[in-house]
Amino acid sequence: MINYKHLQYFHTVATSGTVARAAQQLHVSAQAISTQLQVLEAQMGEELFRKKGRLLELTEAGKTVLKYADQIFSLGNELEQAIRRGVFTESETLRVGICDVIHKTMAFRLLQPAREAGLAMRLVCREGRFLHLMHELSAHRLDLVISDQGLPPGGAIRGHTHLLGASILSVFGHPQLCRDWPGAFPARLKGAPFLMPGQDATVHSQLKGWLEAQQLRPIIVGEFDDGALLASFARSGAGFVAAPGVLGDTVCAEYGLEEVGAIDTISEQFYAVTVERRVHHPALRRILERAGGIFANADGTGQMAPAGL
């Protein structure tokens, strides 16, 4: 039977590249790691590493073992998270990280199904930038992160990305601003004041590229990492603003804005990132299952935007 500690030593060496680095990370001697690796290789009946200069390179057998080790440690993390979350008690807690750039109305709509489930659940929400929230997630201090981007493949942070849905962007403005800058869309934006999402937002570069391609050259009067602050400036009439079209009615009602046009070439995507490979938390499963209904017809094609586990 494979020893879990042997597998941990192997995994650390495989990901760090050398026995010395692995020894530093695990706070044990290099000799101890080398000895345990020999035991594991003897159990497997295969060499797991070959030397390549100063580094160790995985053999084909080693690559296979690493693949299974990733899955084993992922399941171990799920078990640890479940115990910390208190799945053996009657009450549930769902800890959610929300990226600053996400419109708060969008976050509310995505999280609302968990509250409607009638569960004895406590919802804890934290806001922050994507990388900070990912570190919190990997440390099991969060169950879920709602973001406009997923985890990059092969990154240092391990997790699982679930696409919730997508929406084209629409442009909104205060009624007085719309009267000051009349005309057809998008030409009416030429030289007009415009409020941009911060560079952390995935649509930042797309929106900037679209404005340049249309030769509109608006006056960028502000960039905001926080979506709520961006909306507040739009409500004051400081400039036109782009937001997910699926939120159009709510944006107009809550902030007193008017929709002036849609940018059907830009689609903003929304993701849920979890550490669990299989989602068991009942509130979290409900969020993922109900997301598709929020984005129905949001892409302007009459088709429901994708969502799933």
Q: Check if the beta carbon of residue 266 is closer than 8 Å to that of residue 207.
A: yes
Residue 81 or residue 169, greater confidence? 169
Tell whether 105 and 150 lie within a shared domain: yes
Provide the residue type at 115 as one letter. R
Question: Could you tell me the pLDDT band of residue 98, with boundaries at 50, 70 and 90?
Answer: very high
Residue 276 or residue 4, greater confidence? 4
Q: Check if the beta carbon of residue 298 is closer than 8 Å to that of residue 168.
A: yes
> What is the count of structural domains for the chain?
2
| Token duo for residue 17 | 């590249």
Nearest Cα neighbor of 65 from 9, 12, 11, 5 is 11
Q: Whole-prediction pTM value?
A: 0.65
Question: DSSP 3-state assignment of 141?
Answer: coil
CATH number at residue 253: 3.40.190.290
Boundaries of domain holding 55: 4-85
Q: Model confidence over 173-189: pLDDT tens digits?
A: 999 999 999 999 999 99
Of 85, 117, 144, which marks where a domain is finished?
Answer: 85
Q: Model confidence over 189-216: pLDDT tens digits?
A: 999 999 999 998 999 999 999 999 999 9
Nearest Cα neighbor of 10 from 90, 76, 65 is 65
Question: Could you tell me the pLDDT band of residue 238, with boundaries at 50, 70 and 90?
Answer: very high
Q: Check if the beta carbon of residue 305 is closer than 8 Å to that of residue 292.
A: yes
Tell whether 156 and 188 lie within a shared domain: yes
In the predicted model, what is the mean pLDDT of the chain? Answer: 84
Tell whether 170 and 289 lie within a shared domain: yes
pLDDT at 305: 38
